[in-house]
Amino acid sequence: MQTAANRRATFKALHEKGRAFLMPNPFDTGTARILDGLRFDALATSSAGYAWTRGVKDAEGLISRNEALSHAADVISATSLPVNGDLENGFGDSPEDVVETIKGAIEVGLAGCSIEDYTTDPRKPYYPLDLAVERIKAAVDAKNTIAPDFVLTARSEGPVQTEHELEETIKRLNAFVEAGADCVYAPELKDKEQIARVLTAVNAPLNILAGRKNFHLTRKELGDMGVARVSIGAGLARIAFGAFITAAEDMKDGGAFGAFDRASGIIDFEDFMKAKP
């Protein structure tokens, strides 16, 4: 098993312009073992995927810092790959809250993490730019003191549908880069022209979210554009939970059990699971 320092170094080295390395998101230890066995470059936790396993909604402050970091530690223990943490808004509004989250992330062995500018308050969903930047700057200072090669990703959560919204996103991403973020991420980006605009305007590795409906750019196309990293977010969890619901509804409403004809045989995934020593 690699040390935390080795995982950080490996993860940081992956963030090259145009590499478009693929970073899927398990939602528990078993799915982490499967993805480890398939030998991706890196893994990442999913705040939504984990929240659903706990029976709660995502991004509403229902998962605590300790719970998220404990989940991250479980994923890390199931793989030798670098793991990035989806740590939402840092589990608090203040820069000090974010610093505590960064310290905890490094302590449990994450190779990097993302911090959002989403507040979890639907009345005021995004932090003002000055506070959002202050929070990222505090995170940068903390990780540079403890583990400079820890990859800090700053996320701008706002919409990008209009020209004004896209310009605001670019403004925020550039401010985060100036504050010292190692990577940037705007989850709403999926249009090729908009991604190209951001790549031209922002001088930092860019993460693109591919695990969603109506996303049709390939990894090669993203790499050719200059994207550094491709994540899946809650995409795999949505597929898993969706298949579960479909099968359950088939049983309840149709009284038949044909859904299980579509299921993988246990041998198809149990080979990835840990056996007795």
> What integer is the mean pLDDT of 3-25?
98
In this prediction, residue 266 carries a pLDDT of 60
In this prediction, residue 276 carries a pLDDT of 64
Cα(103)–Cα(256) distance, integer angstroms: 51
Q: What is the CATH number of the domain that holds 129?
A: 3.20.20.60
How many C-beta neighbours within 10 Å does residue 75 have? Answer: 30
Q: Is residue 257 part of a domain?
A: no
Q: Is residue 58 part of a domain?
A: yes
Q: Is residue 246 part of a domain?
A: no
Return the bridge partners of 23, or none.
231
Report whether pLDDT(267) > 70: no
Q: Is residue 47 part of a domain?
A: yes
pLDDT tens string 18-40:
999 999 999 999 999 999 999 99
Report whether pLDDT(141) > 70: yes
Report whether pLDDT(253) > 80: yes
pLDDT tens string 82-137:
999 999 999 999 999 999 999 999 999 999 999 999 999 999 999 999 999 999 99
Q: Is residue 54 part of a domain?
A: yes
Range of the domain at 67: 4-234
Six token digits for residue 29: 């230890």
Strands 151-155 and 112-116, sheet pairing:
parallel
Q: Is residue 242 part of a domain?
A: no
Q: Is residue 131 part of a domain?
A: yes
Q: Is residue 210 part of a domain?
A: yes
36-40 — which CB contacts under 8 Å span 24+ positions?
36/78, 36/79, 36/80, 36/81, 36/272, 37/271, 37/272, 38/272, 40/81
In this prediction, residue 91 carries a pLDDT of 97
Mean pLDDT of the chain: 95
Q: Which of 87-96, 109-118, 236-245, 263-272 has the lowest mean pLDDT?
A: 263-272
Strands 83-86 and 112-116, sheet pairing:
parallel
How many domains, the chain? 1
